[in-house]
Amino acid sequence: MGSYQIDILCTDRHHPVWPHLDRWRADKGAYHDVRLLSDPQDLRSGDVLFLISCTRILAPSVLRNYRKALVCHASDLPRGRGWSPWVWEVLRGAREICVTLLEAAEEVDSGPIWFKERFRLQGHELADEIQQRLFQTELRLMDRALEEFETVQPQPQPAEGASYYPRRRPEDSRIDPHSTLAQSFDAIRIADPDRYPAFFDYRGYRYRIRLEKVGPVQAAIEVDPTPAADRQPSETKAAP
């Protein structure tokens, strides 16, 4: 594997993947010329452009400045093109997430596929737990892209079977206060509590939901919810 000029474009510096990309940049910087960018105007030319959690559609003239422009997309393409695919998948009951590394193309998520990697879910994971698995998978795919850059044989996507997910809106995190907790659980657990928190309106007020996982039921510690100041002192009896 030779030394490459690499640009990574993530258009949101506050995205939770950013620190992972920054560590990857620092690690690969010993062997390659790597830049992590948030503004498409800072793109130059080079060997590889990685588009990670990039919400901007780049012009073909920009993509052509690189030998390859590659996208990480969390669906089993051609199914699940579009926005926030893993979120939509979990809401539909998916217990497996497929992450695809593909070439950027003028039509969104339609380029030739380099690699796919999958990870399993058990149905209890919160958004940050799924994101950690997703980010680790994306970094492995980026590593593999460099390792096989000169020998990879991309496969065109099938002409049939494509589907599309819409961009998620804040309104998509709304919870029906009249539904059961079990019915709303998946929608609550996949909502990003910092950027797109789950919420509900009830009795004239809006409430945000922040879900915290304590641990497995067998290992959970029972905590007395009564404030210490309100607790009654335990009685003690003097020894006879």
Spell 3-12 as b/e; 16+ CB within 10 A means b. ebbbbbbbee
- Of 80, 233, 220, nearest to 157 by C-alpha is 80
pLDDT at 215: 87
Q: Is the confidence at residue 91, as pLDDT, over 60?
A: yes
Q: Quickly state the pLDDT bin for 238 (edges 50, 70, 90).
A: very low
- Of 63, 102, 108, nearest to 83 by C-alpha is 108
Q: Read off φ and ψ for residue 114, nearest 5 degrees.
A: -90, -60
Q: Quickly state the pLDDT bin for 2 (edges 50, 70, 90).
A: confident
* Residue range 176-230, pLDDT digits in tens: 999 999 999 999 999 988 888 999 999 999 999 999 999 888 765 555 555 555 5
pTM for the whole structure: 0.86
Side chain identity, residue 147: E
Half-sphere exposure of 90 toward its Cβ, with a 13 Å CA cutoff?
25
E strand or H helix that includes residue 109: none
- Output 42 or 57, whichever has higher pLDDT: 42
pLDDT at 193: 87
The structural domains of the chain, ordered by start, are 5-165 (3.40.50.170), 170-216 (3.10.25.20)
Distance CA(174)–CA(185), nearest Å, equals 12
